[in-house]
Structures are given as C-alpha cells and as structure tokens.
C-alpha cells in the first residue's frame, strides 16, 4: 500500500497528531513510525489485540503493555511498537482525540493459530451461536436492534488493505469485521427490550463467537506477516 494511503487510512486528514515516544510533534507520528520501521528493515507489521485474560502477542515495557491493553490494539514492527488511545465522543467535543504511544519492543512471536484454523473456529462459533438462538424459539434477544444490525452487516465491504495482502486473509478479515460490527451493536443495546437477566444470558451465549471473531481478525490481518515468517 502506498505511503500516503496508509497515512490517510490511519490518521485521516489529521497528520499532526503526536504522543509519548515520538521525538517531534512537527511530523505525523504515523508517518514517522512507517519511515523508521522501513529503515529498520521491517518487511511487514504484526497486529495484537490484547484483552484482560488473553495478552498473547503483547510485548514491550510494562507501561506500554498497560497502555496497549487499555487500547486493545497494538502494532509491532522492527525495534518498536505503537498503540493509540482514542478519547470517547461526548456531546460537547468537536472531535475525538487520538493519542499515539510508541515504545521500544521486539517483534512478537508468530501466532500459532493459522488462517485455516481461524476460519474453522469462526465457522463453528457462528454455527453454535445460531443454534443457541434457534433453541430459544425466537429472536427476542435481537429484535429491538434489528435496524442497526442490518447496517452493521455492511462492515467489511471496504477494507484498507494493500493489494498484496493474501486474498484468504482479506476474506477472513471482511467476515470478521462484519461480525465485530454486529457484536458492537449488541453491546450498545440499551433499549430496555430485554431485562438484565436476558442481557447476561445473551452475553454468555455470544462469548464463543466474540473470541472466534477476535482470533479471526488477528489471523486475517497478520496473514502477510505469517507468510513472511514461513
């Protein structure tokens, strides 16, 4: 993917964002990171999506690991890694503020989960989740948010991935992004159509799918890095 396209995809129209670990605020830290990775000989980047209880792939200083865990995402290249925390949107804020953090860190080890395994696990999780919902005899868990779910299913139609990204990885990312968007809609469901017990039951039912989606995103986005390591 061309250098400027990466900046547009990651930073949008704001290229003057900065944060801890960058030596200057005059240049886009995203552009600086890409240049420094290239100078260090990085052939590809690797994504980690750490969550409490599963921090596989997370390396770096203790402080950086804490920040990356809070952010839930981090990108590794040669010599260092970057993560970003975005402030929540509030009625009084004109826009969300992104704070980038950079820290020395070695590249994490390859993920043992292959594309094929991630595809299989995701398919199984989808099947099991559908069966769980079918056993209820209705879609009462989701009827109150069906319009938003319809919009969420369009996620993944446009992916900012380079043309060289493995096609199998692209397909897996697209599927996982759609499901991730659906799960995000479910997480924000506060319409009151189901009670607290029903929401808790729904959360438990969706847990296997949520894990499979996260693992599919990792396998799909890291497909190029896995091919380079093989």
Domain ranges of the chain: 3-104, 115-229
Calpha distance 50→190 (Å, rounded): 26
Global pTM? 0.81
Average pLDDT over residues 160-173: 89
Residue 151 has pLDDT above 70, yes or no: no
The alpha carbon of residue 133 and the mean position of all alpha carbons in its chain are separated, in whole angstroms, by: 26
Band of the pLDDT at 202, cuts 50, 70, 90? confident
pLDDT tens track for 104-121:
988 777 777 889 999 999
- Per-residue confidence (pLDDT) for residue 11, from 0 to 100: 60
| Main-chain phi, psi angles of 51, to 5 degrees | -135, 160
8-state DSSP, 28: -
């Amino acid at each position: 993917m061309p250098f400027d396209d990466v900046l547009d995809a990651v930073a949008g129209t704001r290229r003057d964002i900065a944060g801890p670990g960058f030596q200057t605020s005059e240049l886009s830290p995203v552009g600086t990171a890409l240049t420094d990775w290239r100078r260090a000989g990085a052939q590809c980047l690797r994504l980690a999506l750490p969550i409490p209880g599963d921090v596989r792939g997370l390396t770096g200083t203790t402080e950086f690991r804490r920040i990356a865990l809070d952010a839930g995402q981090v990108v590794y290249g040669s010599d260092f890694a970057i993560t970003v925390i975005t402030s929540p949107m509030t009625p009084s804020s004109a826009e969300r503020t992104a704070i980038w953090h950079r820290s020395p860190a070695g590249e994490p080890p390859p993920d043992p989960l292959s594309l094929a395994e991630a595809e299989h696990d995701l398919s199984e999780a989808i099947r099991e989740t559908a069966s769980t919902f079918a056993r209820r005899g209705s879609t009462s868990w989701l009827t109150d948010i069906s319009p938003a779910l319809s919009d969420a299913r369009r996620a993944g139609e446009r992916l900012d991935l380079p043309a060289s990204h493995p096609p199998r990885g692209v397909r897996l990312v697209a599927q996982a992004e759609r499901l991730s968007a659906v799960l995000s809609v479910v997480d924000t469901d506060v319409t009151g159509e189901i009670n607290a017990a029903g929401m808790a039951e729904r959360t438990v039912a969706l847990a296997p799918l949520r894990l499979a989606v996260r693992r599919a995103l990792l396998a799909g986005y890291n497909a190029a890095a896995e091919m380079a390591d093989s």
